[in-house]
Structure 1
């Protein structure tokens, strides 16, 4: 139901239904005005009847969700429309058509071109226009190609313009649906956050304080309460990472879940948008840096991850207050085959065209600075 309310293509489908009905009326009027020149009037009436029945069927289909979502109806429309064009032979001999007699379908034949343009975009519209144009050329003959050139141009332009507009509106509809979903999720998260803050978080904070004060076995309980408090706060602050178009993501939304009792993640209030592949590699490098902290910085070390959006580039800093080391030891680790620094951090960022800087000293912790272009 939600998808239907944000279907921006619906007005185009409704316009197509109206176009189909009106152009069938034009075809009927054209037969009436040329009645005396039609060789087999009964064939013309039969052709109009078939066109009318298909207009009704296709209009009902395009008015329903199944007809709009399934492109098979548009392709069936194209095939039947071409058949109706050839059905002009029921009313007029081929020699008369090539001599100048009208193809009785008139502008009604543009219907499937528009349907394919709406359902399949620019390529669908051009495919429909080319098919109808070839059918018209086969009826008129190659010698009359110049006479149908304006009709062919109109069909191609209609397929191109409507197809482009439909593709643009479809992308806009996807973005709108994603925005509505994100807004709903954010509103629900805020509602739950208020309830959690007023209840669960206060209880966990109290357990942490009392367990620390009592000491002994209660320290483990205090530690578990602290971990769960951080996990809940992280969940409350997490925001969607993927945008509507699916190829750019919010780096902050990917980094926030990395927060723990020993890791603080600080991000801007606004989204920091990066290509999905770039963001994934950057997050993987940050995880490797955090893994190094847990392995080498000492059991009591704390770590801070900060994100800065500088416009043309993004800087991610990972700093800890652990034991630290020396640049020479980092280089020796690389030589000895420890690939965490050389490949998982430096290698990933280098592949992205970014730079890595590290500052460390014994007893002063370690700070990584990762820079990538936006």
Structure 2
């Protein structure tokens, strides 16, 4: 069987192949023990031959990745198995089957129920169980429904249990793939970070120092080197944005805002919020940084600090610029400039959080954006 190191459903497929082979042996044994009571033995031999061929085909398919990933084989298995059940009529008249003669497929007929449960989950298992049950009831007759009730119950339970287990293992496999991908990406990033730190970053740092020492037009070159250094450091510290489900890491989105004038400080671990909440919070931070760029002065520096308070997330945006007064902020709102009242306070209020600002002329401005989880 082809191996996929992160396919947790492989043991179930392997068990299905074994089940198919063993139950075919049971069916052959049942024919052998009932040989004297079979009306047309040649029909029974033909039916067993068809079952043998399909057992080999389906077992081969379920042992290959294409057979496991595409549900067409499982649906074909269902159709062929139902056909094999009706092929019992080649060996026994319908009146004998309804009188108590065995359907020669026996428990082998449960194979597609398990296959659909593994490939399609609970719904697939129920579909397979219902189809095989209806085929069995049509052969046995409605008058004998009580006699096949236990078989129907077993098929339904098998479809439900195996389907639920398969769905759970499939979700676990997806998470395992994400974890492996993240681990691989992190290891590659660390390797590249070491190479960049030992080479490119040191060269950029040297260009900055020499540019400022030389002066003149070299200062512009030094500034460009500083910007590229920040961009590289931000890329090196980047983390996966999504964390599974609708959760996202706020820090990953804020780290990309770092420049030579903006420092972003985040916890070592991820700070998880819903994607919608994180998007609104990042938008509010960007608006605050835009205000710094417009009003704080060309030399102002900004610090963005993220704190994880367990039941809430606090983001502080502080600058050392010109500052302002609460009265001026209120006047800006009255004049129709809604950056503070809508783009910052409005967003955070809509999230059920709070946005407070502390500012004074010559003392810069500090925003505290708090969003409850």
Normalising by structure 1, we get a TM-score of: 0.94
1:11 equivalenced with 2:11 (yes/no) = yes
SS in 2 for 1:180: helix
**Deviation (angstroms), 1:85:** 1.3
Q: Contact 1:302 / 1:321 at 8 angstroms: preserved in 2?
A: yes
Q: d(CA) in 1 for partners of 2:49 and 2:336? A: 81
Q: Cα deviation per residue 1:191-217 (whole Å; 9 max; x = unaligned)?
A: 111121122111111111121122221
1:319 equivalenced with 2:318 (yes/no) = yes
1:183 equivalenced with 2:183 (yes/no) = yes
SS in 1 for 2:4: helix
Gaps of 5+ in 2: none
SS in 2 for 1:324: coil
Gaps of 5+ in 1: none
Q: Cα deviation per residue 1:248-290 (whole Å; 9 max; x = unaligned)?
A: 2222122111111011111111111222222222222222221
What's the counterpart of residue 240 of structure 2?
240
1:251 equivalenced with 2:250 (yes/no) = yes
1:157 equivalenced with 2:149 (yes/no) = no
**Cα distance, 1:335–1:74 mapped onto 2, change above 3 Å:** farther
Q: d(CA) in 1 for partners of 2:352 and 2:140? A: 59
What's the counterpart of residue 197 of structure 1?
197
SS in 2 for 1:4: coil
What's the counterpart of residue 123 of structure 2?
123
Normalising by structure 2, we get a TM-score of: 0.95
1:210 equivalenced with 2:210 (yes/no) = yes
Q: d(CA) in 2 for partners of 1:356 and 1:130? A: 57
- Per mean C-alpha deviation after superposition, the further-off stretch among 245-254 and 211-220 is 245-254
SS in 1 for 2:148: helix
**Deviation (angstroms), 1:303:** 0.9
**Deviation (angstroms), 1:57:** 0.5
Q: d(CA) in 1 for partners of 2:161 and 2:151? A: 15
- Per mean C-alpha deviation after superposition, the further-off stretch among 77-86 and 94-103 is 94-103
Q: d(CA) in 1 for partners of 2:162 and 2:24? A: 20
1:132 equivalenced with 2:147 (yes/no) = no
Q: Contact 1:3 / 1:177 at 8 angstroms: preserved in 2?
A: no
What's the counterpart of residue 263 of structure 2?
264
SS in 2 for 1:333: helix
Alpha-carbon RMSD: 1.8
What's the counterpart of residue 359 of structure 1?
358
1:346 equivalenced with 2:345 (yes/no) = yes
Q: d(CA) in 1 for partners of 2:263 and 2:80? A: 65
What's the counterpart of residue 61 of structure 1?
61
**Deviation (angstroms), 1:14:** 0.8
**Deviation (angstroms), 1:246:** 4.3
